[in-house]
A = this chain, B = another copy of it.
Amino acid sequence: MEQVSFNTHHSAFGAYSSFILGKIGKGGGFVLNNVKPVENNIYIGYKREGQDLSILPFFLEKKTDTNEVFGLSDGKKYKTKEKLLKPFEEKEISRELKFASDTWRAGDIEFKIITPFWEVADPHKIKAEELRFSILPAIFAKVTLNNSSSDIKAKVFFGMDGMGRLISEATQQKLLGGAIDRRIAFACSKENGIVEHIGWNLLDNIVSGQNEKNRLGNEVLLTLEVPAHTIRTFTLVFATFQDGMITSGHDTRFAYTSCFRNIEDVLEFALDNKAYYLSLADKRDAELQESGLNKYRRFLIAQAAHSYLANTQLMLDNEAKPVWVVNEGEYQMMNTFDLTVDHIFWEMRYHPWTVKNVLDLFVERYSYTDKVIDINGRQYPGGVSFAHDMGFANMFSNSGSSVYERKDTTGCFSYMTYEQLLNWILCASVYAFKNNDFEWLKKRKHTMIECFDSLAARDLNNDGIMDADSIKCGSGYEITTYDSLDESLGRSRNNLYIAVKTWAALVCLENVFSKLKLAEYWLRSQDRAILLVNTLSGYFIEDQNFIPAIFENGNSSRIIPAIEGLVYPYIIKDYNAISSVGRYGKLIKMLKLHMQEVLKSGVCIDDVSGGWKLSSTSNNTWMSKIFLNQYISENVLNIHLPLESEKWDKVHAIWQANFSELCAVDQINSENGKDLGSRLYPRLVTSILWMDVK
């Protein structure tokens, strides 16, 4: 990727905090309990004696003279920035975003942010010291100046505003760095040649060579002397720490508070073990670099991984039991279930126990039982389902309720009862089979049966396909996760995407009930799946090779997510179910034809941009789902279009890099790549599937 100027989240696992950097001219810095970019000044650069100060362009012009704030009408004027500052121009900078690192190079400086991640064990199952290794709320950075071809000694520096104290003073001079109260800090080990600065205009210190410590300062900066003809590096830790109970509705605190005393404890531990963590990051980087994926996909995976981690939050409740939350980007909804179902591919790879954790919380606290109504308003028994989410912005909602869903609504914000029911079945099946946790499956036998019954109850005409809405909708109707697309994907009832996802849930249930030795339910699941496939066959328009998105009102939208459901049988390795010569061969063949048909310019390939659009009748397209369906198309349906594929990837990658201030964005306009919603989003991590090719 050639693009340089875009923001990326840099985050520790489960800390719901980020160091955001990348948009040129915009600053960056830490954000807590959110994922929105902040605009603190970040100072990264160097100065050779007698030369101008070279600096990466991550700061803003200061608007206030702090001396004036203190009533000093004759306050010193700080002229450094205007006179002696040479920020690198965009064209002078190269940037390389990898799986667990992000590196900028300009002139003789290299700045690398390192965000190691790893397979995280269930905190309940490991010892305290292991836990410290496992849920460290810190990331790393390296600042390197290559002064090897210079005869002049230099200073290289890293600093930022939004700080207020020196780390040396809290660590008996063991570490050097800056912090703001107890919550945010950066530090390095004390080494020869590294000096701490605190003040209001620290670039002046670099220029003047002075170091008067102004402890009222809002900036902290570290400088390292680099002799002529040498290369020197210093390694930083960035940490965040939030004490006390954090969430309302359900009392939880950050899990790391159980194994770290305070932020200094985090910094010291991180620096003591930096070799360990940096090697983990190198390993991650190598995995992606050596994946054989093209550079666009590597970029998309890397940016998505960063955004996902930024949204993660590992908490402990009053009984010290883990509570896992993934927050929904700019919307901040907690454990939005139709995101969870997309995150499981990542989570099964790195921390499958979080999937179980969320599924249990959905059962125990965020499930409900409803009635259903047909289009004439007649009521019927319904069954169990699950809330859309568990709250937002550190506020757990009441039992059984999401913050998203409202009655009497016909678009966004209506209930997703049926789809969340599918999501529980699919996530639970994937978790149990991928993780071989059949103990848990047995424990959840009752829920599995309830879920099957609930599915059946919502198909009044017994054709396999959902046709009754939850009574919770009032005068509205149920929607799908694709709520903000057009009607071709937005509505649940008689919906192709939902139908195939239902089939997938039934296939999963077949496997579940077989494993649980519940022969009757196994058979009933299979019967319903067959019924559904037959019904779908009836909707297949042979001469045009597609199934319409909605089986009502003469709808003729072509949609890509018709194939989305195929991923689940594939993941749980029921290869027969997804084989064109298997028991559902008819469906697989139909969907392959459908997919080949829609992957055409002017249908689901945007004829302006050349990127994927999920529905032929909407320009609102979602990156996370594009990635997922690309994976399915290639690996489940074996549609191999290598030339087209790389072109598509390039369009998608450029879109992402162009969001510049918004990190990873999900909802975009397929014509022009404009962001339409779901900014700063975790869901794009569906792209991790690309690394799972057998």
Contact = CB atoms under 8 A, between A and B. Distances in A.
A330 interface: yes
A246 interface: yes
B677 A69 contact: yes
A331 B216 contact: yes
A660 interface: no
A412 B73 CA distance: 11
A413 interface: yes
B406 A181 contact: no
B70 A484 contact: yes
Interface string A384-396: 0000000011110
B216 A182 contact: no
Contacts of A667: 71
Interface in A390-419: 392-395, 397-398, 401-404, 406-408, 411-413
A394 B245 contact: no
A667 to B, nearest CB: 5
Interface residues of A, number: 55
Contacts of A242: 244
Interface stretch (A47-55, A207-215, A223-231): A207-215
**Number of this chain's copies in the complex:** 2
Interface string A325-363: 000001101000000000000000000000000000000
Given A182-B246, A212-B406, A677 B71 contact: yes
B397 A677 contact: no
A212 B667 CA distance: 27
A249 B170 CA distance: 7
Nearest to A213: B406
Contact of A169 (B72, B398, B411, B620): B398
A179 interface: yes
Contacts of A392: 164, 215-216
A395 B71 CA distance: 23
A251 to B, nearest CB: 8
A214 B406 CA distance: 7
B408 A212 contact: yes
Contacts of A411: 72
A262 interface: yes
Interface in A232-276: 242-249, 251, 253, 262
8 contacts: A71-B678, A170-B249, A181-B246, A181-B394, A182-B245, A182-B248, A182-B394, A244-B244
Interface of A: 67, 69-73, 164-165, 169-170, 179-182, 212-216, 242-249, 251, 253, 262, 330-331, 333, 392-395, 397-398, 401-404, 406-408, 411-413, 484, 620, 667, 676-678
Given A71-B677, A181-B394, 6 more contacts: A70-B412, A73-B620, A165-B249, A213-B406, A215-B392, A243-B245
